[in-house]
């Protein structure tokens, strides 16, 4: 009975912890959908677990979570905050967000020696931080001649640290470790995850529906059968992910 009471108290605290952070930068049109209500996003607007944040064309927004982690949304992006659990000291226990469209740049705050427990989910991929900064992009309905028959893509571009990328539609497939300077594309998800490098992939060698890993250097144009199309993570690399010692 005592164990049951402890479990219920823990569940109550988790359910009551709805505050996630706030908007710390806003440009253009930004909206927050909370339940059935939609409100305009402005600097300082609180963000809660369950909120859906959307940016309009030529707009952007930065969400800063309670532990200092930042999520930068580019234009025409939609993201929901699914989970944000922190300890009484403000240390992150678990963060999970879902990217439904556009690009989010994650600048993950972490304490060396402890797992970041930060994940960006898309409908066909999971990008889990191992202490890092990285871009995640999701698009649907836009064809790519490099991947005939596929209309769903997740791109991950790593600037610092390591990101573990998996395809939830292939739960038995191994995780792909993406390192700084590497980019990964997940087209659709019907086939097992296949990892490789740009040096070993020739034109037309794509394995449909797999994950192709390519080094950031030399990727672009027609190189490596378009292992990464360059549409994600434009611009200079961001600042490095901050640690709990900063």
For the record, the structure tokens of 17 come out as: 């912890």
> 134-138, 151-155, 180-184, 228-232: lowest mean pLDDT where?
228-232
What pLDDT is attached to residue 37?
Answer: 95
For the record, the structure tokens of 154 come out as: 């997740």
Query: Which residues make beta-bridge pairs with 38?
Result: 33
What is the tens place of the pLDDT at every residue in 12-61?
444 444 789 999 999 999 999 999 999 999 999 999 999 999 999 999 99
Helical H runs in the chain? 2-16
Say how many residues make up the chain.
246
Structure-token match 């191992």, residue found: 130
What mean pLDDT is predicted for residues 142-153?
A: 85
What is the tens place of the pLDDT at every residue in 189-220?
733 233 333 333 332 333 333 444 444 333 33
CA distance 162 to 175: 12
Contacts for 193 with CB less than 8 Å, ≥ 6 apart: 166, 167, 170, 173, 174, 176, 210, 211
Higher confidence at residue 110 or residue 173? 110
Contacts for 175 with CB less than 8 Å, ≥ 6 apart: 128, 164, 165, 166
Q: Which of 158, 163, 151 is nearest to 209 (CA)?
A: 151
**Count of helix runs (H) and strand runs (E) in the chain:** 1, 17
């Amino acid at each position: 009975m005592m164990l049951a009471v402890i479990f219920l108290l823990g569940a109550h605290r988790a359910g009551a912890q709805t505050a996630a952070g706030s908007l710390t930068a806003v440009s253009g049109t930004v909206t927050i959908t909370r339940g059935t209500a939609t409100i305009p996003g402005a600097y300082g607007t609180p963000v809660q677990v369950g909120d859906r944040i959307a940016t309009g064309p030529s707009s952007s927004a930065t969400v800063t979570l309670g532990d200092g982690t930042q999520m930068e949304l580019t234009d025409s992006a939609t993201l929901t905050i699914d989970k944000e659990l922190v300890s009484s000291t403000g240390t992150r226990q678990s963060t999970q967000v879902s990217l439904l469209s556009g690009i989010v740049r994650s600048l993950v705050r972490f304490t060396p020696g402890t797992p970041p427990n930060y994940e960006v989910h898309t409908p066909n991929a999971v990008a889990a931080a191992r202490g890092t900064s990285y871009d995640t992009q999701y698009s649907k309905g836009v064809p790519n001649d490099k991947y005939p028959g596929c209309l769903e893509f997740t791109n991950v571009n790593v600037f610092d640290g390591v990101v573990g990328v998996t395809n939830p539609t292939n739960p038995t497939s191994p995780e792909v470790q993406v390192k700084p300077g590497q980019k990964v594309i997940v087209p659709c998800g019907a086939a097992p995850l296949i990892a490789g490098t740009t040096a070993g992939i020739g034109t037309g060698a794509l394995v449909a529906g797999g994950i192709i890993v390519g080094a950031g250097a030399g990727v672009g144009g027609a190189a490596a059968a378009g292992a990464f199309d360059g549409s994600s993570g434009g611009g200079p690399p961001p600042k490095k992910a901050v640690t709990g010692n900063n």
